[in-house]
Structures are given as C-alpha cells and as structure tokens.
Amino acid sequence: MQRGNAVAQAVIGALALLAPGIAPAQIDSPSVPSMLATALLSGTRSAGIMNEARYVVGTLPAGWPIGISPAAPATVVGGMINGHHLIVVFADTTRRFLERYFTLLEQNGWKSHTLPASTIESSGFQSTGWSNDGLFCRDSAGVTALPVAGAATGALVHVMYRASDARCFPPAPRVVARLVDEPLKFPVLKPPKSSRFPSFGGSSSAGDVSTRVRLIDSTLGSAAIVAHYAKQLVEAGWTAGTFQESYTDLFASQAFDACDTTGRHWTGTLSVVSTRANRDVSITMWLDERP
C-alpha cells in the first residue's frame, strides 16, 4: 500500500508539472489522482464512463496490446478499463509523442483511418495523411491518440484502444461537395503528419479560385506549414515566388504562379494564419488577363 501511495504521489507530481492547466476532476477514490482521472476522461464523450471504470496508476491496464505500447522516453501516467475500452495517458517531455506513436502503429500493421478516395475531393487539400481524428485501424480494432486538452503542448497524450471499433468498418458512401468545372485545378495536397484535419472547402468563379483548410496542429508554425505545402505545389509544376513571414510566426505566405490546362496564366498566394492550436491554410489564385 505504501508503494502504491508513492506511485500515486509521483504521478501527481508529473501531472502538475506537465499539465498545469488541467482542472482536477471530482473523484471519490483517494488512490487515483484527480488530475489523472481528468486526463483519462479528456478524450471521452461521456462523463458517465467514469462511474463504471477501473483505474490503474503508473502502469498499463490489463489487456493492453503489446504492439501499441510506445518506447522511452514516453512513460505511462495511468489508465482505465471500461468494458471494451482501454485508455492510457502517456507523458512525453520531448513533445513529439504523436509523430513517433503513429509511426509505431504503422510499423505494427495499423492503418490510418481515412475516407475512401471516392468520397473526398479530387484536388486541393486532402485528409489522406494520418487520420484527422487520430484513429488507426487494424481489422475491426481501433486506436485513437489525441493530446490531452489543457495540458502543456504535446506533454500528455490520451490513447484509447477498442477491440471492436465501428469506425474501422467500411463507411457508407457519402457525397462531398466538389469544385465544379474549376478553371484551375489544384494539385492533391496532403497535410503534415502532425496535423488533424477537421474541415476544408473551396470556391471558384470565372476569374479566381480558392481552396482552404483548418488544421489542428500545435507543433508546426505558419512558416513550416507553408513550406510543407509549397514543396507539393512546386513538385506539381507550380512556380514559387516571394516568401513572407511575420516576426512571431503567426502568419506566413508564399506567392505562386501556375498555368491551367488551356495554358492560361494564374497568380496568387499560399498563406497560413496561426492561432493557439489552429492553422488556417488557404490558396487563392487569380487569372492573369494581361496580354
């Protein structure tokens, strides 16, 4: 019992250091640090899960698959078991947990959950990189990895394992709005591996065309995201122009020139505006009607 208390105290200290912004949850059991419970529940949609859960502190819950356990320097803060759901909170002082963890999952046969090619746009920003909601599938099982809300950036990560995850079964066909007869077709643009991808869109008219996306990414700044997409545009045959960046990296842009299939010349800008966790990315191109 004394050893368990020591582990709990160590976990409390780690949580306080890594996650100063997390408000402690109200929990009856004195053996489970309230901040750990809050972190465990951060990725769930129902607080009612707490009433049925069995908690562990400083170790993995029983039944946690070996192939989804990260290596050092990541450490186990604690976990819980709730029916077929196993949840673990990992700490990583390097703040690079997600990138390394997604690579580990891929090496062990897990695949990022993405929509079939027939259900996404044929050009512009795509969600064909790592899963936007942090979900990886292997057969019918699912693993979801997301940062703990309120924790220091990248310090704590909430990982949930489901032996049977409905999202890992083939989805029903759905229709996604496309840019119809766009005068300039954007190349397929894949997001950074560290980004989640909640929304995208676009518009076009006779003299301009645009595409945009909002990324959730607290690891890459505006300039890095511009560089990521600029590389893909150049590889697709676009010509890069002047690069601009704000002093605080809250904004960055890159000018571009491109030609459509009829040989007409277009000019415009790739730009990124950063807030605390969101990265708003847009490309707007205008038809150059000069002789």
- The Cα 169–Cα 27 span in angstroms is 35
**pTM (two decimals):** 0.49
User: Is pLDDT of 162 > 70?
Assistant: yes
Q: In the structure, what pLDDT confidence band is assigned to residue 97 with cuts at 50, 70 and 90?
A: confident
Model pLDDT, residue 267 = 93
Model pLDDT, residue 225 = 92
Q: How much is the average pLDDT of 87-109?
A: 86
* pLDDT tens column, 206-251: 578 888 887 877 678 899 999 999 999 999 999 999 998 887 888 9
Model pLDDT, residue 176 = 42
Model pLDDT, residue 135 = 82
Q: Cα-Cα-Cα-Cα dihedral of 96, 270, 252, 193, to 10°?
A: 0
- Long-range contacts: 170-178, Cβ < 8 Å, 24+? 170/116, 171/115, 171/116, 171/119, 173/118, 173/119, 174/115, 174/119, 175/119, 176/119, 176/120, 176/121, 177/201, 178/121, 178/122
Contact 213, 191 (CB under 8 A): yes
Q: From residue 90, how far is each of 58, 66, 175, 182, 267 by CA, in Å?
A: 10, 15, 37, 45, 46
Model pLDDT, residue 114 = 61
Model pLDDT, residue 175 = 41
Greatest mean pLDDT among 55-69, 164-178, 221-235: 221-235
* pLDDT tens column, 2-27: 444 444 444 445 544 444 444 444 44
* pLDDT tens column, 22-52: 444 444 444 656 666 666 666 554 444 445 6
Model pLDDT, residue 230 = 95
Question: Residue 37: what are its φ and ψ, rounded to 5°?
Answer: -60, -40
Sorted by where each begins, the domain ranges of the chain are 2-168, 188-287
Model pLDDT, residue 224 = 92
